[in-house]
């Protein structure tokens, strides 16, 4: 389980067009499905069903009080030459504050999680051990990519089917809440 933001479909499609040559050239990579692309704010791991209800009201209140952030997908990189990602630009400081507030909600709900520093990114693909060329080459090819900016729409509480069969990981929203706060000028 995790709490995340999802880029709008047109922003994801813009990046997918840039990725098309790599998708065709490197079918051996384990590509994430475009509909599952997200920006993780807090990774919660495997949780019992009873852990979810206490999160709902405070996450809803947090989203309701926050204005949308202006973000964009930009560039690319990799972790350990095995995980290909797209970078995030725009209001990255606001994104860090949102992640800190989300993590504080999780703590107050008594849910233990690994509180790693936020490295804003969108994971695109993973390479099998020993097959790192496609990841590093694709990251280099996407280094100059700059997508359009978009407002974040919703905060998502997401579950995955990881470990439940040989197919790709699939995600599903358990719930999501609109960002309804007003931007302040100044």
**Residues involved in catalysis:** 38, 121
Token duo for residue 156? 């998502």
Cβ within 8 Å of residue 31, ≥6 positions away: 23, 124, 125
Cα angle value 168/35/75 (rounded, 5°)? 100
Residues with Cβ within 8 Å of 71's Cβ and at least 6 positions away in sequence, in order, are 5, 7, 39, 88, 89, 90, 91, 92, 95, 149, 150, 152
């Amino acid at each position: 389980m995790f709490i995340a933001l999802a880029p709008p479909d047109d922003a994801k499609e813009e990046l997918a067009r840039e990725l098309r040559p790599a998708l065709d050239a490197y079918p051996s990579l384990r590509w994430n499905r475009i509909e599952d692309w997200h920006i993780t704010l807090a990774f919660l791991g495997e949780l019992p069903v009873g852990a979810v209800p206490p999160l709902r009201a405070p996450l809803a209140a947090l989203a309701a009080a926050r204005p949308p952030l202006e973000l964009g997908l930009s560039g690319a990189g990799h972790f350990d030459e095995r995980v290909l990602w797209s970078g995030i630009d725009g209001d990255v400081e606001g994104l860090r504050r949102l992640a800190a507030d989300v993590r504080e909600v999780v703590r107050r709900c008594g849910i233990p999680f690994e509180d790693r520093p936020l490295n804003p990114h969108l994971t695109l693909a993973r390479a099998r051990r020993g097959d790192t060329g496609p990841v590093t080459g694709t990251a280099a090819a996407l280094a100059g990519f700059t997508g359009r900016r978009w407002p974040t729409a919703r905060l998502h509480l997401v579950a995955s089917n990881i470990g439940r069969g040989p197919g790709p990981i699939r995600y599903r929203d358990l719930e999501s809440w609109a960002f309804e706060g007003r931007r302040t000028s100044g």
